[in-house]
Amino acid sequence: MFTIRGYAAGMMPRTRNGFTLVELSVVLVVISLLIGGILIGQDLIKAAAIRATVAQIEKYESAVETFRGKYDGLPGDLKASDAVGVGLFARGGGAGDGDGNGKVEGIGAPGNSVPLGGETVFFWTDLSAAGLIDGSFTQSADANVNTLCCLGDIAAPYLPMAKTGHHGYFVAYENLSASVGGVPGYSGLMFEVGQVANTLGGFVRGGAGMTVLEAESVDAKIDDGMPYSGHVLSGSSGMSSSFGVVGTYSALNPGPSGIYCASNATTPPYYNTAFPDNVNCNLMIETGL
């Protein structure tokens, strides 16, 4: 009798088909670990972006304090003659254009109507030129920026983007003390994080630039975690009325539940955590400056 590759003739090895249950179990465990690792990685990335945005807020507030102590005025609002004297970008000196009145405003439109131009742009160029913040921003002429169009990253030369992404930018302005859209009144320098769209007639038009989870997390880290109390607020904006209607639900302003950031239809108001990953929110941060 002869053999074929070590087997007796007529006694060929049996062919294995498929995987054993043990092998399938190992594969499923590996797949589960990979999926779990990806989800954990995504959560870590989100958490890092939230921490980085909180750090931006703190850094900008500190930068304003340092600037005011050094130049005896607010960035953007610094008197035209003083700005030129210390080597900052020249400005006209008219209303909202380096008038030195202690408020960061748009050209010719103080208060809640905030054009993107004049002091609202010089605010960031001044801080950048003074070496107090990261980034280098376009030094706009004494005019409103009327060239922006469509939601996206079109504001990058003028404004810093929030680390949370979603095309959310920081805008600085003086808010009116009147209550708007359920948001408590406030008078003072405010940062707002949101998208920036076209500037129809020079006035900022924009939308939500944070997810619900991001907005609530930022609020909780530096304030009380409530959308309509404390110094971090969600909802209506000082930038324009069209921005202000984004993300607010109330009995008088009902809408699909998935599109709002916060609701003032109950007491206390709450963030819409049923849809944590929806980009529904813009935040207003009172600086106390």
What is the tens place of the pLDDT at every residue in 217-258?
999 999 999 998 888 988 644 333 333 344 567 666 677 888
The three-state secondary structure class of 169 is strand
pLDDT-derived band at 12, boundaries 50, 70, 90: low
Helix ranges restricted to H, the chain? 21-71, 80-85, 119-129, 212-222, 241-244
Least confident of 134-143, 198-207, 279-288: 198-207
Q: What is the DSSP letter of 228?
A: T
Separation between Cα atoms, residue 226 and residue 216, nearest integer Å: 7
More confident position, 31 or 242: 31
| Cα distance between residue 162 and residue 121, in whole Å | 16
| Cβ atoms of 51 and 45 closer than 8 Å | no
Distance CA 8, CA 24 (A): 33
| Out of 99-108, 152-161, 247-256, least confident range | 247-256
pLDDT value of residue 145? 79
Q: Is the pLDDT of residue 109 over 80?
A: no
Mean pLDDT over 103-129 rounds to 81
Q: Which 8-state DSSP code applies to residue 166?
A: T
What band does 127 get if pLDDT is binned at 50, 70 and 90?
Answer: very high
Q: Is the peptide bond before 268 cis (omega within 30 degrees of 0)?
A: yes
Helix runs in 72-94, H state only: 80-85
Mean pLDDT of the chain: 80
- Backbone CA torsion sign across 132, 156, 75, 287: negative
pLDDT score of 1: 47
In this structure, how many other beta carbons lie within 10 angstroms of the beta carbon of residue 105? 24
Predicted pLDDT at 237: 41
Q: Is beta strand 188-196 parallel, antiparallel or unpaired with respect to 169-175?
A: antiparallel
pLDDT at 20: 81
Q: What percent of the chain has pLDDT over 70?
A: 76
How confident is the model at residue 245, as a pLDDT?
A: 41
> What residue spans define the domains of the chain?
22-286
Q: Roughly how many angstroms between the first and final C-alpha of the chain, as a whole number?
A: 100
Query: Which pTM value belongs to this model?
Result: 0.80
209 vs 146: which has the higher pLDDT: 209
The angle at the Cα of 258, spanning 268 to 192, to the nearest 5 degrees, equals: 65
Torsion angles phi and psi, residue 215, rounded to 5: -65, -45
The pair of structure tokens assigned to 190 is 């405010």
For range 190-211, the mean pLDDT: 77
- Cβ neighbours for 65, distance < 8 A, ≥ 6 positions apart: 289
By the 10 Å C-beta count (0-12 exposed, 13-18 middle, 19+ buried), 170 is classed as: buried
Is the pLDDT assigned to residue 2 strictly greater than 50? Answer: no
Judged by average pLDDT, the poorest of 77-86, 147-156, 234-243 is 234-243
- Does the pLDDT of residue 215 top 90, yes or no? yes
In 206-224, which positions are buried (b, 16+ CB within 10 angstroms) versus exposed (e)? bbbbbbbbbbbbbbeebbe
Q: Is the pLDDT of residue 271 over 60?
A: yes
**Structure token pair of residue 91:** 């400005």
Torsion of the alpha carbons at 128, 134, 137 and 142, rounded to the nearest 10:
-30
Q: What is the pLDDT of residue 179?
A: 58
